[in-house]
Amino acid sequence: DLHRRAQRPPASAPSVRGRADLVADAHEHTALLDALIAGDQERVRALVGAHFRAR
């Protein structure tokens, strides 16, 4: 379900996103996965919070 939802932008999102935005998102997601794998809960919370505040 998470993968499916991540593929579709929210209704409030701008209809056109640039390559730089997509690359930045990919870097954020990679950092989040690294923190999850490492079991670093504080880092996960910080990254998720920052990710959604940027929206």
Question: pTM above the 0.85 mark?
Answer: no
Cα(54)–Cα(17) distance, rounded to whole angstroms? Answer: 14
Nearest Cα to 34, choosing from 44, 42, 25? 44
pLDDT, tens digit, 9 for 90 and up, residues 1-55: 666 666 666 666 655 667 888 888 889 999 999 999 999 999 999 999 998 887 6
Residue 8, burial from CB neighbour count under 10 angstroms (0-12, 13-18, 19+): exposed
